[in-house]
Amino acid sequence: MIKEVVGLNCVINETAKIGEEVTLGLFCVIEADAVIGDGCQIGPHVVVHAGSQVGREVRIDAHSTIGKRPMRARRSIFKDDKELPPCKIGDNCLIGACAVIYAGADLANNCLIADHAAVRENVSIGELTIVGRGVTIENLTTIGRRCKLETGCYITAYSTLEDYCFVAPNVTTSNDNYLGRTEERFKHFKGVTIRRVGRIVAGDVILPGLEIGADAVVAAGAVVTRDVPARKVVLGAPARVFKDTPSEQLLENQGWEE
């Protein structure tokens, strides 16, 4: 049941399940079969779409949308229209204002999704990961634990980021070397892979299908046109190996790995 309601004019479907000590702001919409866990704070004008599952002690700020169904343009390469699983948001997550999290997205406990971020369908995000303001994570992407994606970076579809990865502001990743031309592109359509503890610095561009090795660093403003070896620093356009990743910067030497 709802123990406390702040404001009026919320629309809550009779099949929705609302936990104890939940606070709802003005004009919330909670659709059929949605689940809101105990102790959640739901801001004004939040929409929780049908079937979405929100864990305990989650905060969702004003005008955010949880469990949105994707749209398919007539020319979209994504033709699979089968029903998506519910959006799942783990315990103690923080969702900023005007964020959009799609159906089929799965957030582990203690994630932060900042204002205006978008998390598309069939995306999984590991625990304690931070997704910064205005970040877009496209569909069919996996983000590991304790990653940090900073303001305005773009993670293209079909990508994988392993644990502890860092992606700085305005990094752009890509998945189509054919720029939308010829059928050949569908044989090579692939996002990027950033191995454990890979770090991508501000303004970098990563071309389709490439791999950034474990504990590697891509320096600011680089254009990555080939795989980056583990434990190397690359820079330039096109990026070339500059030196080894300094030993004091390796994850194994930080003393806080879990």
Q: Are residues 25 and 94 in the same domain?
A: yes
How many residues comprise the chain? 258
Domain count, the chain: 2
The range of the structural domain enclosing residue 28 comes to 1-70+85-131
Model pLDDT, residue 177: 76
Confidence of residue 29 (pLDDT cuts 50, 70, 90): very high
Residue 141 lies in a domain: no
- Average pLDDT on 24-51 reads 96
Query: Which of 119, 191, 108, 106 minimizes the C-alpha distance to 149?
Result: 119
Find out whether the peptide bond into 246 is cis, omega within 30 degrees of 0: no
Residue 76 lies in a domain: no
pTM of the entire structure?
A: 0.92
Model pLDDT, residue 87: 98
Model pLDDT, residue 186: 67
Confidence of residue 67 (pLDDT cuts 50, 70, 90): very high
181/68: higher pLDDT: 68
Residues 44, 60: contact at Cβ < 8 Å? no
19/254: higher pLDDT: 19
* 109-145 pLDDT per residue, tens: 999 999 999 999 999 999 999 999 999 999 999 999 9
Model pLDDT, residue 252: 86
Q: Is the pLDDT of residue 2 over 50?
A: no
Long-range Cβ contact pairs of 74-79 (< 8 A, separation 24 or more): 77/186, 77/189, 78/139
Q: Are residues 10 and 90 in the same domain?
A: yes
The CATH number given to whatever domain includes residue 239 is 2.160.10.10
Q: Are residues 11 and 123 in the same domain?
A: yes
Q: Is the pLDDT of residue 3 over 50?
A: no
Q: Are residues 105 and 185 in the same domain?
A: no
